Amino acid sequence: MWQHLKEAEPIVWLFFTAALLALLFALYAFVKAWRYKRAAREAEAHADRTRESQESVMALFNHVSQTVRSYFQDSNINSGELVEALLKHFTETAKKSFHCGCASYFAYDKEQNEIKMLRSSGLFPSCLDISEEKLKLIAGNEEKTEEFLKTTPFPLNVTPFASAVDQKRIVNFGFKECEAKVRYKVYALWSMLVVPVRSRGEVSGILVLANKRGRSQFNLEDVELAKSMAEVVSWTLNYLAMIADIREKAGVDSQLETAASIQNHLLPTSRAEMGSVEAEALYKTAYRVGGDYFDFIRVDQDHLGILVADVSGKGIPAGLVMASTRALMSALSQNVLSPAKLLTDLNTHLIQLIPEGMFVTAIYAIIDVKSAEMVCAKAGHEPFLAAFGGEEVKVCNSSGMVLGILDSGVFGESVEDVKYQLSKGDMVLFYTDGVVEALNRRKEEFNRDRLALALDNARNYGPFEALQSIQGRLAKFTDGEPQYDDVTLVAVKIK
């Protein structure tokens, strides 16, 4: 054939070449269009999944918020009944949200190092050490299986849940891990997610999700959703326990001591490091229960979120609002790269939850840990300070009303995203008004100018050393004067 083509007229050869190129181009266009459609379908599915996840967490959050309010307001309500109803809602919501065959909640007894099922939705595939004789009696019967597991404690070390409890982290078992690490399987088990739930800073239980629909595996999005749901349940259990303790103990001092202890457990670790970003926080309350709050949020694999907030008022009401803000941020922040949108969504829910007359100020920044681009928005909060290169320390301000007062239509129009390109060696400082309004013996304020000078002197340090330097200057200025407001500082540096 090629010989005949070579001997043919040039015009025939050109026609054949053009036809071949047209065919190749059409094939290329088809493949590109197919890839585009597939990417569009995946993006749409991801958006649907994100929306569904947020709706699930918010439904759970609204349920538990009402639970806490009811218990706080009505002394006749039994906490045990509320916990039972909460766990029922938790497991049912989890089973539906993760599209899995079973969601079970186990209580963990630290002293005995044992677990025992409290609630389950769906047929639990066991993965626990059950005798063959007992297995024959309960196999295939969801009610009998659940009844047996509710009345039988299991030593933690003979279950596949030990690492999640000991390390206080979510453990994802894929098919291979299920085959290799799970010794006892009553029914088929191809995927399992073990999610620790904390109360008073310690693991008090675990949520076990098993057998995702379609024999598929739990992915990173599932892990993030599980983390958010566990956060919501965790803070609920904390406050139910706190209010129960308050009822049992007499005196305001006991109330404050209990509330302060629980609030400290709600705060994140004071350090975060992700890619090119290193951050450190310093937090000091004026009273035992504070209204300041900070958080480091992994928005996705490339973005770190940094939140600093201040709740108006003090004491237990401020602590409740702070806990609500943390739970909401955990639920709403995943994969949202616009701080202004996140704050608007946060306002939508806070306005329905916080007491009349209270509000929250906040500043929220999202940093791309690869490009070091930072997007920031604030809601009635103090502007942040930035030491860019060798330039003079800059006050970075933007518009935005406080959270929890105006409806989200008005609030959304007031808040804006502002972008900043950070570079290696740059340092950014977030803070609350308790820093700049700190007083010395002459009743002079520390003010923003002094804080900017303190940052300028510490700009070449790492975040931890910088905060120690700034705190030292603040302590020298106040010279023993009582602290009237909470102090929160967060330093961020690009490595």
Rounded CA gap, 397 and 337, in Å?
Answer: 19
Cα separation, 95 vs 166, in Å, equals: 25
Which pLDDT band, with edges at 50, 70 and 90, does 457 fall under? very high
What CATH code is carried by the domain that includes residue 275? 3.60.40.10
Locate all alpha helices (DSSP H) within 156-301, ordered by sequence: 162-167, 175-181, 220-248, 252-266
Residue 380 maps to a domain:
yes
Question: Tell me, what DSSP letter sits at residue 157?
Answer: G
Degrees, nearest 5: CA angle 347-268-220:
80
Dihedral of CA 108/112/113/119: which sign?
negative
Predicted local confidence at residue 250, as pLDDT: 46
Q: How far apart are CA 153 and CA 235, in angstroms?
A: 25
Higher pLDDT, 281 or 64: 281
What is the pLDDT confidence band of residue 440, given thresholds at 50, 70 and 90? very high
Are residues 103 and 215 located together in one domain of the fold? yes
Q: Is residue 87 part of a domain?
A: yes
Predicted local confidence at residue 76, as pLDDT: 65
Residue 56 maps to a domain: no
Q: Which of 425 and 149 is assigned the larger pLDDT? A: 425
Q: What pLDDT does residue 252 have?
A: 45
Boundary residue ending a domain (208, 229, 250): 229
Mean pLDDT of 441-453: 94
pLDDT digits (tens, 9 = 90+) for 278-320: 999 998 876 654 578 899 998 988 999 999 999 887 666 666 6
Q: Pick the residue with more confidence: 439 or 71?
A: 439
How many structural domains does the chain have? 2
> What's the whole-number mean pLDDT along residues 375-385?
96
Question: What does the pLDDT read at residue 255?
Answer: 47
Residue 281 shares a structural domain with residue 413: yes
60: exposed, middle or buried (Cβ count in 10 Å: 0-12, 13-18, 19+): buried
- Mean pLDDT of the 378-405 span: 93
What's the pLDDT score for residue 60?
65
Q: What's residue 465's pLDDT?
A: 96
* pLDDT at 438 > cutoff 50: yes
Looking from the CA of 311 toward its CB, the CA atoms found within 13 Å total: 26
β-pair type (192-199, 171-173):
antiparallel
Examine residue 28 and state whether it is found in any structural domain, yes or no.
no
**349: pLDDT strictly greater than 80:** yes
Assign residue 187 the CATH number of its domain.
3.30.450.40
Q: How many CB atoms lie under 10 A from the CB of residue 229? A: 27
pLDDT of residue 154: 87
In a domain, 287, yes or no: yes
Decide the pairing of beta strands 487-494 and 394-396: unpaired
Give yes or no: residues 132 and 218 share one domain.
yes
Higher pLDDT, 360 or 186: 360
Residue 153: domain span: 77-229
Q: Report the pLDDT value the prediction gives residue 81, as an integer from 0 to 100.
A: 74
The pLDDT confidence band at residue 477, using thresholds 50, 70 and 90, is very high
Confidence of residue 152 (pLDDT cuts 50, 70, 90): confident
Backbone angles phi, psi at 76, to 5 degrees: -90, -10
Q: What are phi and psi of 135, to 5 degrees?
A: -60, -40
Burial class (CB in 10 A: 0-12, 13-18, 19+), 28: exposed
Same domain, 225 and 272: no
Q: What is the pLDDT of residue 183?
A: 65
pLDDT value of position 184: 63
Considering the domain architecture, whether residues 219 and 347 belong to the same structural domain is answered as no
Q: What is the mean pLDDT of residues 198-224?
A: 86
Residue 344 scores a pLDDT above 80: yes
Which residues pair with residue 278 across a beta bridge?
273, 493
Q: List alpha helices for 333-462, DSSP H.
A: 339-353, 408-414, 433-436, 447-458
Same domain, 135 and 280: no
Work out the pLDDT band at 251, boundaries 50, 70, 90: very low
Which residues fall within 8 angstroms of residue 158, CB to CB, at 6 or more apart? 128, 129
Predicted local confidence at residue 26, as pLDDT: 72
Nearest CA among 218, 319, 194 for reference residue 262 = 319
In a domain? residue 10: no
Query: Are 290 and 365 in the same domain?
Result: yes
When pLDDT is averaged across residues 383-393 and rounded to a whole number, the result is 93
The answer to whether position 34 is within a domain reads no
474 pLDDT more than 90: yes
Please say if the pLDDT value at position 208 is more than 80.
yes
* Domain-located, residue 64: no
Selected residue with higher pLDDT from 255 and 176: 176
How far is Cα 484 from Cα 260, in angstroms, rounded to an integer? Answer: 17
Phi, psi at residue 31, to the nearest 5°?
Answer: -65, -40
